[in-house]
Chain A
Amino acid sequence: MTRPSGLVMYAIFYLAFLYLPVLLLPLFSFNDGTIVAFPIKGWTLEWYRQLGGQDTLLQALVNSLFVGFVSAVMATSMGLFAARAYVRYRFRGQEASEALVMLPLVIPGIIVASSMLVLFISMGLKPSLTAVMLGHTFLALPFSVSIMKSAFDDFDVSLEEAAYDLGSGVVETFRRVTLPIVAPGIVSSLLVTFTVSFDEFVLAFFLSGNQPTLPVYIWSQIRFPAKLPNTLALGSLLLLASVLLLVVAEYFRRRSTKSTL
């Protein structure tokens, strides 16, 4: 190609459109001024420094990490088993089950949030981190199932049969063959589901009660123009964390599919 075609130009513009908001946030987080507009007044790390001293923020961070961790573990373990069942076995109701576990992806957030709030209250569970965890597990499950499904898809059944043929029992086979081969998929699923929970807002907004997660905390700060620079700094850190986690997850996912070529 001697000259970039129209399609390439379009792709580049589109990419710029996609990255515009995620790059502007970090850019203005270093701006030595409280108004988010050009020209940039000067550079400072002050806004980041101030974050360290805010106890409610740190508590929200701890809440988010905790909820994210528990949701990731719960979603990934359910996803692991379900994906294995979907890939390896044929059973009655399989298609219905596979469709059902993907449902959380397409239900509008407000409906999930309001209906879970109503359900949990009726069951006597007050809005709390536990409620958020249950909700986030629900939202993260489709991600876990699809990641684990592709991990098992690439997994040749005869590998387990070979282990078995060479004298391993069920537990041995799982420990020495199945687990090491799908391990990258599990790691990838844990990271992705953690990120889903860590970034989720609407459900946490409805269900967290007086224990805000980080996005709920940010929501409460958005209203105060004076807090804007701090929010930008915090948001930038979150963006960075999410992207890093996802790049690592992607690395593991690639490894899981490459290893069984």
Chain B
Amino acid sequence: MTETNIIQLQGIEKRFGKFVAVSDLSLDLREGEFFSLLGPSGCGKTTALRMIAGFQEPTEGKVLIDGQDMEGMPANKRPTNMVFQSYAIFPHLNVGNNVAYGLRNRGISKSEIDTRVKEALEMVELGGLEARGANELSGGQRQRVALARALVMRPKVLLLDEPLSALDKKLREQMQFEMRHLQQSLGITFVMVTHDQYEAMTMSDRIGVMFDGRLVQVDTPQTLYAKPGSREVASFIGEMNFLPAEVTAETGDTFSISTPGFGAMKIEANPNVARHGRHISVGIRPEQLEIARHKPDGYDGTVQGVVRDVAFYGENVHYHVGVEGLDKPIAASVPNYFHTVDHAPGDKVWLGVQAASVIDLGEDKQTS
């Protein structure tokens, strides 16, 4: 493997007075990857990004970029550049001068600056807009100028602070693909901070999930979705039904469990989980459940219940099914293949699930 770690965070911690914004964060970022820090607001992800950028110095720990310790290195000397949440387009400069701003700090010849600005603007599909005033740009254009202004510096790492949060939904989705393509064609490491799980999943090679200043799991989007390491992560990414389960036997990587409703099943142990116990929590994604009027065949677990609510989303239909012995109804999602809604509130239905779709989420803190 030729993969090198472009950024190494070694046990970094940031305290503001008594408030711990980031605690004991260790993380290696590979060269050329698109990495996202995902978490709810206030979880410390932006503080972590700003420590990489050099706007904040860690209270403890080290930040290494390309093997070099960044301690005491101010933001203007670091090989990173940032796309700000507000984009921070200089209002007194036109597009061309905004993009050229950083290059002019480097004593580069005027002709080369012009060429590189032109290239950078073409790269973000704003070719020829050099003379456009900063206040004449749309939201999407501002985002592109901010990208071009940072990328023209040829940083080793591009840092993005909620880069799409100011855009409307359609534009946001379009920019997700564009930025992903740009990153892949440039091969530059991107580190993005976001609170939007879909944004993180569609764009990133790997995602780090943060809660309350702690980094709780780092994995590919698929692994995060399929094998979340805890109930917290599982509930933050996608939708999940949680069930309490009792472990009745354990053989190697397989647990025999019994759950209320679905009964006894054999499931795989989740390697991302830190602690197990006699009582564990298991999760089932709504789209992994079968829902039918009659008891379905060929499923490892089935249970009967009554439809409480039906929510029609267009691309799929969600049924909330009340099951005896469970406090909360179970959500089942069915793709809208035939433009029909098959069950109505009050209907008796069966739910079926394969053991492979039942995710082990580790020790159940609620019951044990």
List residues of A whose CB falls within 8 A of some B CB: 156, 158-159, 161-169, 172, 176-177, 180-181, 258-261
Chain B positions within 8 Å of A156 at CB level: 86, 88
List residues of B whose CB falls within 8 A of some A CB: 53-55, 74-77, 80-82, 84-86, 88, 90-92, 101-102, 105-106, 135, 149-150, 153
A167 touches B91 (CB 8 A): no
Chain B positions within 8 Å of A176 at CB level: 101
Given A177-B92, A180-B92, 10 new contacts (CB under 8 A): A158-B85, A159-B91, A162-B82, A162-B88, A164-B74, A165-B53, A165-B55, A165-B102, A168-B76, A177-B90
Q: With A156-B86, A158-B86, A261-B135 given, is the CB distance from A165 to B81 under 8 Å?
A: yes
Give the complex CA separation of A106 and B105 in angstroms.
47
Give the complex CA separation of A16 and B81 in angstroms.
58
B84 touches A162 (CB 8 A): yes
Give the complex CA separation of A259 and B92 in angstroms.
7
Chain A positions within 8 Å of B86 at CB level: 156, 158
Give the complex CA separation of A159 and B80 in angstroms.
16
How distant is A167 from chain B, measured CB to nearest CB, in Å?
A: 4
Count chain A CB atoms within 10 A of each CB in B80, B82, B88, B149 and give the residue with the most.
B88
Which listed residue, B75, B85, B105, B149, touches A172 by the CB 8 Å rule?
B105
Give the complex CA separation of A257 and B271 in angstroms.
56
B135 touches A259 (CB 8 A): yes
Chain B positions within 8 Å of A163 at CB level: 90, 101
17 contacts between A and B (CB under 8 A): A156-B88, A158-B88, A164-B76, A165-B55, A165-B75, A165-B82, A166-B101, A166-B102, A166-B149, A168-B76, A168-B102, A168-B105, A169-B76, A172-B105, A177-B90, A259-B92, A261-B91
The closest CB in chain B to the CB of A179 belongs to B92
How distant is B315 from chain A, measured CB to nearest CB, in Å?
A: 37
The closest CB in chain B to the CB of A172 belongs to B105
The closest CB in chain B to the CB of A155 belongs to B91
Give the complex CA separation of A165 and B150 in angstroms.
9
Q: With A161-B88, A261-B91 given, is the CB distance from A166 to B105 under 8 Å?
A: yes
Chain B positions within 8 Å of A164 at CB level: 55, 74-76
Q: With A167-B153, A169-B76, A181-B92 given, is the CB distance from A161 to B55 under 8 Å?
A: yes
Q: Which 3 A-B pairs have the closest CB atoms?
A: A166-B102, A167-B105, A158-B88
Give the complex CA separation of A152 and B123 in angstroms.
34
Give the complex CA separation of A260 and B53 in angstroms.
24
Chain B positions within 8 Å of A166 at CB level: 76, 81, 101-102, 105, 149-150, 153
B90 touches A159 (CB 8 A): yes
Chain A positions within 8 Å of B149 at CB level: 162, 166
Count chain B CB atoms within 10 A of each CB in A159, A164, A165, A168 and give the residue with the most.
A165
Give the complex CA separation of A121 and B149 in angstroms.
59
The closest CB in chain B to the CB of A160 belongs to B88
Which listed residue, A161, A168, A259, touches B91 by the CB 8 Å rule?
A259
Chain A positions within 8 Å of B77 at CB level: 167
Chain B positions within 8 Å of A177 at CB level: 90, 92
Which listed residue, A167, A180, A181, A261, touches B106 by the CB 8 Å rule?
A167
A167 touches B88 (CB 8 A): no
The closest CB in chain A to the CB of B155 belongs to A165
Give the complex CA separation of A167 and B100 in angstroms.
12
Give the complex CA separation of A159 and B85 in angstroms.
11
The closest CB in chain A to the CB of B92 belongs to A180
Chain B positions within 8 Å of A165 at CB level: 53-55, 75-76, 80-82, 102, 150
B153 touches A181 (CB 8 A): no
The closest CB in chain A to the CB of B77 belongs to A167
How distant is A156 from chain B, measured CB to nearest CB, in Å?
A: 5
Chain B positions within 8 Å of A159 at CB level: 88, 90-91
How distant is B89 from chain A, measured CB to nearest CB, in Å?
A: 8
How distant is B57 from chain A, measured CB to nearest CB, in Å?
A: 14
How distant is B104 from chain A, measured CB to nearest CB, in Å?
A: 8
Give the complex CA separation of A15 and B90 in angstroms.
40
How distant is A78 from chain B, measured CB to nearest CB, in Å?
A: 25
Give the complex CA separation of A258 and B92 in angstroms.
11
Give the complex CA separation of A167 and B75 in angstroms.
7
The closest CB in chain B to the CB of A166 belongs to B102
Give the complex CA separation of A156 and B166 in angstroms.
15
A158 touches B135 (CB 8 A): no
Give the complex CA separation of A162 and B82 in angstroms.
7
Chain B positions within 8 Å of A181 at CB level: 90-92
Chain A positions within 8 Å of B153 at CB level: 166-167
Count chain B CB atoms within 10 A of each CB in A161, A176, A259, A261 and give the residue with the most.
A161
A167 touches B102 (CB 8 A): yes
The closest CB in chain A to the CB of B146 belongs to A162
Give the complex CA separation of A158 and B91 in angstroms.
12
Chain A positions within 8 Å of B88 at CB level: 156, 158-159, 161-162
Chain A positions within 8 Å of B91 at CB level: 159, 181, 259-261
Give the complex CA separation of A226 and B106 in angstroms.
70
How distant is A160 from chain B, measured CB to nearest CB, in Å?
A: 8
Give the complex CA separation of A111 and B33 in angstroms.
69
Which listed residue, A167, A258, A259, A260, touches B76 by the CB 8 Å rule?
A167
Give the complex CA separation of A260 and B92 in angstroms.
8
Q: With A156-B88, A181-B92, A261-B91 given, is the CB distance from A161 to B76 under 8 Å?
A: no
The closest CB in chain A to the CB of B85 belongs to A158
Give the complex CA separation of A163 and B149 in angstroms.
11
How distant is B96 from chain A, measured CB to nearest CB, in Å?
A: 14
Give the complex CA separation of A152 and B150 in angstroms.
25
Chain A positions within 8 Å of B92 at CB level: 177, 180-181, 259
Chain A positions within 8 Å of B74 at CB level: 164
